[in-house]
Amino acid sequence: MSFYGETEVGGPNGLTYAVLVTRLAHDELLEILTSERFSGWVAPTEDGWTVAVPESPVGHVASRRRRLPELAEAISDRTDAVVASVVVVKDELLRLWAGRGGAQLVDYVSDPSVGAEDAPLELDPFGNPVGISDGPVGAHGASALARAADRAQAADELQELLSERLGESENESERLQAAARLLGWPSWLVAVDSLPRRVPGGPEASAFTRLRAGRGGIGGIAAAQAARVVRRKA
């Protein structure tokens, strides 16, 4: 278990949360997320980075039943700004995707074996089972992400961090917290699961813009109820 300030990060069951991090300004991102009928929260821009937190970390978060990585890729296709999606599952799995201008920078999975027992068996062209890595995959993309984030000097350290196999006493929130420090991302990313309450170390809850199916206010509540018919939380 790790700590963020005086707040515990992780725990016996681990945290599941997700964030979209981008160089887009708050109003630019808000306009795009509105058009994509996003459900979640958008934080004020901080040190050149704007963070959006989906209501459902691993479920559908936007139109066309898009999950967060798919939404990040769609936004990347529409802009030259860096766009990254981060998904942490039970503090056991970290998925990081980032792109800019439609070009992929990194596609990283900390441990593809997590949850693999529930996935359909994948076969090669000859019908033989395909082995699943039990270690990080995609860490080589760290250099491209660091350069795109104007943190080229951190490229080697970031790649080393993403390449590490975590020990039994470590969790993926700790890895993400270290990666955020290297990339200059807001340090409170690991605490966003506290929304709609205040995010420890982050902006006040009232500073976040709340969207429900791309709309705010009472209209957003009605839109969200309609969207739940076709969206899944997991």
Outline where DSSP puts E strands in the chain: 2-4, 7-9, 17-22, 40-42, 50-54, 82-89, 93-100, 103-109, 209-211
pLDDT number for residue 14: 87
* Token representation of residue 103: 């070009």
123-167 pLDDT per residue, tens: 556 655 444 566 899 999 999 999 999 999 999 999 999 999 998
Q: What is the SS3 assignment for 67?
A: coil
57-102 pLDDT per residue, tens: 999 999 999 999 999 999 999 999 999 999 999 999 999 999 999 9
Percent of the chain residues topping a pLDDT of 70: 77
* Token representation of residue 136: 């990080």
Helix and strand totals (H; E) in the chain: 6, 9
* Token representation of residue 164: 């590490």
Query: What distance in Å separates the CA atoms of residue 154 and residue 179, rounded to the nearest whole number?
Result: 10
Query: What distance in Å separates the CA atoms of residue 153 and residue 43, rounded to the nearest whole number?
Result: 27
Q: What is the SS3 assignment for 66?
A: strand
Tell me the mean pLDDT in the region 184-197.
97
Domain boundaries, the chain: 2-109+167-225
At residue 21, what is the residue type?
V
Q: Kind of pairing, strands 50-54 and 2-4?
A: unpaired
Query: What distance in Å separates the CA atoms of residue 215 and residue 65, rounded to the nearest whole number?
Result: 17
Residue 225 has pLDDT above 60, yes or no: no
Residue 39 has pLDDT above 60, yes or no: yes
Percent of the chain residues topping a pLDDT of 90: 74
Residue 119 has pLDDT above 90, yes or no: no
Residue 216: Cβ within 10 Å count: 14
| Mean pLDDT estimate for the chain | 86
Tell me the mean pLDDT in the region 196-204.
96
Query: What distance in Å separates the CA atoms of residue 27 and residue 44, rounded to the nearest whole number?
Result: 9
pTM for the predicted model, two decimal places: 0.82
pLDDT number for residue 132: 53
Residue 205 has pLDDT above 70, yes or no: yes
pLDDT number for residue 212: 94
Residue 121 has pLDDT above 70, yes or no: no
Query: What distance in Å separates the CA atoms of residue 160 and residue 155, rounded to the nearest whole number?
Result: 9
Q: Cβ distance 41 to 208 under 8 Å?
A: yes
Higher per-residue pLDDT: 173 or 222: 173
